[in-house]
Structure 1
């Protein structure tokens, strides 16, 4: 059985998240998703939705076999517990693939790092990021 891990913030779910998780699931037999805790989100605006609620929403998605909250101090703790064969990164996630591979090797975690494909835009008004959704809400509710 091939175990895949996907990870992300998953704040205000949108079609891009669903595409990423479907793509990740297709990389193996079992998909575990690690939902980042708000305290660990430093590369963009902090999530609007609380940690546990985001985990619960991700767990309800069809491709997901199990959803976990990330560790508040060490992002590799859930990876060490899950022991994936593949880590599936979103096509536009900020991670440096080579640095991630090196960090995994330093911890004795032997797994493949792959990138999910981008979601093709089929309509100009399709909202494919949490930021776009928030901007639209602010513009229309102003």
Structure 2
């Protein structure tokens, strides 16, 4: 039986922190499917710079990822119900409340675990592991 893992995120400007998260998520099972957030659903931070389909295509190109799909426009749990995962992997710094996710999964009859991935520390002083830091550096140098 294939153990399906779902990871999700915005993945606006892909960086080593994203790669670490997705590799760790892939290690939680046999198949990794990534749900890439629609721009309309990103309300906890600045809107993404890149279009959703572009972000999905870049994530899908990563070796650790078996497939990448776009999230649902109105209900972020619809793809989770459709994909029926065994594990949902949450990034170490994602704003999600694990207890709230587990409660909603139970309410919808989705039987899976929610696991939070570990953080990845920078390997060098100048390594940037967040989209915000990358955007800030671009503005600092080219703004």
TM-score by length of 1: 0.99
Distance 1:6 1:67 in 2: 9
* 3-state secondary structure, aligned to 1:5: strand
- The answer to whether structure 1 residue 66 and structure 2 residue 67 are counterparts is yes
CA deviation after TM superposition for structure 1 residue 114, in Å:
0.1
- What residue is the counterpart of 2:13 in the other structure? 12
Q: Between Structure 1 and Structure 2, how many residues are aligned?
A: 142
Structural mapping, 1:43-58, within 5 Å = 43-58=44-59
- Cα distance in 2, alignment partners of residues 122 and 4 from structure 1: 27
1:27-61 CA distance string (max 9 Å, x none): 00000000000000000000000010000000000
Q: Deviation digits for residues 71-114 of structure 1, max 9, x if unmatched?
A: 00000110011000000000110000001000000000000000
User: Mean alpha-carbon deviation: is it higher for 14-23 or for 121-130?
Assistant: 121-130
Root mean square deviation, CA, Å: 0.6
* Aligned 1:73-88 pairs, distance under 5 A: 73-88=74-89
Q: How is 1:1-142 mapped onto 2 (pairs within 5 angstroms)?
A: 1-142=2-143
**Unmatched tracts of structure 1, length 5 or more:** none
Equivalents in 1 of 2:139, 2:52: separation in Å?
22
- Please give the alpha-carbon distance, in whole angstroms, between the structure 2 residues aligned to 1:141 and 1:92: 28
Question: TM-score, normalization: structure 2?
Answer: 0.98
